[in-house]
A = this chain, B = another copy of it.
Amino acid sequence: MIISLDAMGGDFGPQIALAGADIALTRKPHLRFVIHGEEDRVLPVLAQFPKLQAVSEFHNCEVSIAMDDKPSKALRRGRWKSGMWKAVEAVKHGQASACISAGNTGALMAMSKFCLRTLPGIDRPAMSAIWPTLKGESVVLDVGANIGATAGQLVEYAVMGSAMVRALSENSKPTVGLLNIGVEELKGLEDVRVAGQMLRDARLDSMHYHGFVEGNDIGAGTVDVVVTEGFSGNIALKTAEGTAKQITRQLSVAMHRTLMAKIGYIFASGAFDFLRSKLDPRNSNGAVLLGLNGVVIKSHGGTDNEGFAAAVEMGHDMAANGLLEKITRDLEHFSTRKEQE
């Protein structure tokens, strides 16, 4: 399987992207890469990873997208020629099975939409996040690709999220919840209510519609897929990140306040390492741009080698397990039902 890399994205550029790809290659030796970026910045780094170099093809792209470029400007400047565009285009032309970029999120979404287009039956793509929970991991979408969503779009998100869980795990019938305020059937937004009814009526084999869930259900792992529109999804994601940071900071302060606490910290250091690994955002690095005619993974811009490797492996898993086919099959089910009615 060939993975297409945008080597110029992220806060650290080629250094992290190539080191990450090298780690992924160690774990999945059948991987091959097409790498896009500025040659004077990428090639010296690539030379540090001879094994990666041996299985990679490099394409020089003189234009790179800055992390703070507006999506419209990035599209104007970078279309047809930037490393990011070329990385996405390799998927479109079938040269690669998945594209990984740690670059500017808005620009990556804009270019992916423009270059790959959405799958038949999908109104617009969504961005999904993998959320560590008390029970394992859940998929939450949309975490900020679009503001607002109609009932039909929420149903599409549910289909895409459940396909993603099935592509990443053994779970063949994920539970799906619609994020709402209050679990009573009558509460909340009209579109959320209608989407709930549509999912309930559809009785898909590929998902179990659980009903409404609230914000606290996400971390509890009540459902495998949490569906919401992008504004509240982004706020939920960032609020959880902020809360996790706040508590770990307070824990660290508490553990250094007294001599007794410091001694306790030394004894329990293994436990703290365990907790840290549980909370490590690198374990779930990689948002997936869902609903496109191709697999595109957005790695966190500030991630490290291991984090980027996780994003590469996620791209591999999504492509290997037929993410797009799974989405298309479920959507057909919805459109067939519509025609029958």
Contact = CB atoms under 8 A, between A and B. Distances in A.
Given A268-B260, A269-B264, A189 B231 contact: yes
A217 to B, nearest CB: 7
Interface stretch (A33-41, A236-244, A284-292, A305-313): A236-244
Contact of A181 (B186, B235, B245, B260): B235
Interface in A266-303: 266-272, 274-275, 278-279
B239 A236 contact: yes
A12 interface: no
Contacts of A144: 181-182
A204 interface: no
A264 to B, nearest CB: 3
A244 B219 CA distance: 9
Nearest to A257: B271
Contacts of A334: none
Of residues A216, A258, A265, which shows the largest number of chain B Cβ atoms within 10 Å of its Cβ?
A216
Given A244-B243, A267-B263, A147 B235 contact: no
A236 B242 CA distance: 11
Nearest to A255: B271
Contact of A246 (B134, B184, B260, B263): B134
A268 B265 contact: yes
A261 interface: yes
A108 interface: no
B274 A254 contact: yes
Contacts of A267: 260-261, 263-264, 267
A179 interface: yes
A275 to B, nearest CB: 4
B189 A215 contact: no
Contacts of A250: 134, 275, 278-279
